[in-house]
Amino acid sequence: MSQYILALDQGTTSSRAILFDRVGALIGTAQHEFTQIFPAGKQGWVEHDPFEILTSQMSAAVEVLGRAGVRPRDVAAIGITNQRETAIVWDRETGRPVYNAVVWQDRRTADACAELVKSGAEDDVRRRTGLRLDPYFSGTKVAWILDNISGARERAERGELAFGTVDSWLIWNLTSGKRHITDRTNASRTLLYNIVEDRWDDELLRLLRVPRSMMPEVVWSSEALGPVSTTLGLEGVEIAGIAGDQQSALFGQMCTRPGDAKNTYGTGCFLLQHMGSTFRQSEHRLLTTLACSVDRKLEYALEGSVFIGGAVVQWLRDGLGIIDSSSDVEALALSVPDSGGVMFVPAFTGMGAPHWDPYASGMMIGIGRGTTKAHIARAAVDSIALQTADLMRAMNADTPAPLRELRVDGGAAANNMLMQFQADLLSVPVHRPACLETTAMGAAFLAGLAVGFWPNTDEIQRKQDAGTVFQPQHDYSALDARWQEAIARAKGWNRPL
């Protein structure tokens, strides 16, 4: 009997593979970072090489099995979770991408989105998708590729090209081109999927000028989908779980009832609250999206997205060089009592919810002669929690009752200073699980439930560790007011003159 589930966690800056056993314990992990491409002279552009995404993910998968001494036949199923809105277009015959992957952080279609908003299209888009017209989502990225790569639109119209988010790209390659699929959580992030009627929407496809022939088949997040057919060390293992990273983390935290909420501190920060089976639009500039369902029925979540969360720490390391590794930031930030009046708005790729300003700019203000790298590090860490507090306020205004606790995960959630500051800002307990790999756990749970590895979600919940709870201790309302002033100053800076 197979004893393990393999989760492939394809993220924005790295690809990871994590092996879980029957009690949900992490048995092994492997991780490979890959290149972030910032085309010269192109403000706000972010790209990835699709083949580097694939090879980094496959290398991690083979590596984790080798380290753990696990054979493919010992793996009951594979669950895949991925950076969601990143768009890839490839040739159906050759399997070669026509262009780099355009990453979810990319802002090149900001003007196109602004024109669509000006035309009056956004209200209808929101009614159908729960999303806003923003370059964050995949649909305008696909249109950009078709319009700017020679011959691409003509080839797409002839049915020669395929579109997919990263899950589709991985599965296409894992199955040697036999399956062109995505799950509902990823489909719901494209601006092209009607989450009320559960279908690719012809009106939206026409609006964004994307041929229907490019679109993948849509499947459930927990469903046996067939075996890996390549010879990359995983041949014969069943693919049985797919979910966009944030919905996967929501499921990994077992937030399966209306009102349950989690925040993931990854490259960005993503706050999701389960809404149940009724579609409802946000009145406070949040998004409505599809959640994972093991019962094969539509379930919804309210979502707020921060584009630069933990990535600000990576920038301190790689951009400023003031820390050697991301784990150094907590000690540096704690070496001063506060940020010394420095406010850091990390709007490197515009602002997400609830501001939705693609022209916002990164900004540090309040710098004086006494400012040190420690103050900058403190302000950077503070900015992660302050952005999350903006999301929480909007979410509380959208829901019948305020959140009573926040479940947290992601790499930056290991930072105790950040978690305590977050609890203080929100005035609610912050619950951190013993295992922070809840995004990968969600994909593993979805796959395991599909193949009977675990009988039900109750069994999974019984095996989960209680973790750590951070209780509110201080009042930072004055600091939050100063943050709002800094946000206002950063907005619109990159607007074309």
SS (H, E, C) 291-325: CCCCCCCCCEEEEEEECCCCHHHHHHHHHHCCCCC
Clarify whether residues 103 and 73 are in a common domain. Answer: yes
Task: Give the residue numbers of the binding site for sn-glycerol 3-phosphate.
Answer: 12, 84-85, 136, 245
Q: Which run of H or E residues covers position 395?
A: helix 373-398
Q: What CA–CA distances, in Å, run from 162 to 89, 143, 270, 338?
A: 6, 13, 28, 50
Of the candidates 115, 126, 104, 1, the residue with the CA atom closest to the CA atom of residue 47: 104
- Whether the bond into 211 is cis, omega within 30 of 0: no
Q: Which residues pair with 344 in a beta bridge?
A: 364
Give the domain extent around 25.
4-245
Helix (H) and strand (E) counts in the chain: 16, 22
Residue 308, CA atoms < 13 Å, CB-side half-sphere: 25
Clarify whether residues 278 and 187 are in a common domain. Answer: no
- How far apart are the C-alpha atoms of 471 and 452, rounded to whole Å? 38
Per residue in 131-145, pLDDT (tens digit) is: 999 999 999 999 999
Categorize the per-residue pLDDT at 161 as very low, low, confident or very high, splitting at 50, 70 and 90. very high
Per residue in 226-235, pLDDT (tens digit) is: 999 876 778 8
DSSP state, 351? B
Is 57's pLDDT higher than 80?
Answer: yes
Of the candidates 300, 407, 306, the residue with the CA atom closest to the CA atom of residue 355: 306
pLDDT at 226: 92
- Of the residues 192, 218, 245, the one at which a domain ends: 245
Categorize the per-residue pLDDT at 75 as very low, low, confident or very high, splitting at 50, 70 and 90. very high
pLDDT at 231: 65
Longest dimension (CA), the chain: 65
Mention every residue, 6+ apart, whose C-beta is less than 8 A from residue 180.
Answer: 92, 162, 164, 168, 171, 172, 216, 217
- Could you give the number of structural domains in the chain? 2
Q: Is residue 333, in this structure, part of any structural domain at all?
A: yes
The residue to which tokens 């020669």 are assigned: 160
Clarify whether residues 130 and 180 are in a common domain. Answer: yes
Clarify whether residues 234 and 269 are in a common domain. Answer: no
H-type helices in 105-229, by residue range? 110-118, 122-129, 138-148, 152-157, 166-174, 184-187, 202-208
- Of the residues 211, 228, 245, the one at which a domain ends: 245
Q: Is residue 324, in this structure, part of any structural domain at all?
A: yes
Task: Give the residue numbers of the binding site for ADP.
Answer: 12, 16, 267, 310, 411, 415
Per residue in 370-387, pLDDT (tens digit) is: 999 999 999 999 999 999
Average pLDDT score over residue span 426-449: 93
**CA-angle at 237, arms to 254 and 78, nearest 5°:** 20
Q: Is 40 helix (H, G, I), strand (E, B) or coil?
A: coil
User: CA torsion 289→292→294→296, rounded to 10°?
Assistant: 30
Per residue in 347-361, pLDDT (tens digit) is: 998 998 899 898 999
How is residue 166 written in tokens? 């990263």
Task: Give the residue numbers of the binding site.
Answer: 12-14, 16, 84-85, 136, 245-246, 267, 310, 314, 411, 415
Clarify whether residues 278 and 335 are in a common domain. Answer: yes
Of the candidates 148, 174, 203, the residue with the CA atom closest to the CA atom of residue 57: 174
- Of the residues 211, 245, 279, the one at which a domain ends: 245
Assign residue 392 the CATH number of its domain.
Answer: 3.30.420.40
Clarify whether residues 230 and 262 are in a common domain. Answer: no
b/e code 164-194 from CB counts within 10 Å (16+ = b): bbbbbbbbbbbbebebbbbbbbbbbbbbbbb
Is 463's pLDDT higher than 80?
Answer: no
Is 97's pLDDT higher than 90?
Answer: yes
- How far apart are the C-alpha atoms of 346 and 489, rounded to whole Å? 12
Is 497's pLDDT higher than 80?
Answer: no
Average pLDDT over the chain reads: 93
pLDDT at 426: 92
Is 464's pLDDT higher than 80?
Answer: no
Is 89's pLDDT higher than 70?
Answer: yes
Task: Give the residue numbers of the binding site for glycerol.
Answer: 84-85, 136, 245-246
Clarify whether residues 224 and 300 are in a common domain. Answer: no
pLDDT at 151: 95
Clarify whether residues 77 and 122 are in a common domain. Answer: yes
How is residue 438 written in tokens? 């809840």
Of the candidates 443, 442, 452, 439, the residue with the CA atom closest to the CA atom of residue 80: 443
Q: Is residue 134, in this structure, part of any structural domain at all?
A: yes
Average pLDDT score over residue span 253-282: 90
Clarify whether residues 91 and 236 are in a common domain. Answer: yes
- How far apart are the C-alpha atoms of 242 and 218, rounded to whole Å? 11
Mention every residue, 6+ apart, whose C-beta is less than 8 A from residue 337.
Answer: none
pLDDT at 1: 67
Task: Give the residue numbers of the binding site for ATP.
Answer: 12-14, 267, 310, 314, 411
- How far apart are the C-alpha atoms of 261 and 272, rounded to whole Å? 5
Clarify whether residues 138 and 260 are in a common domain. Answer: no
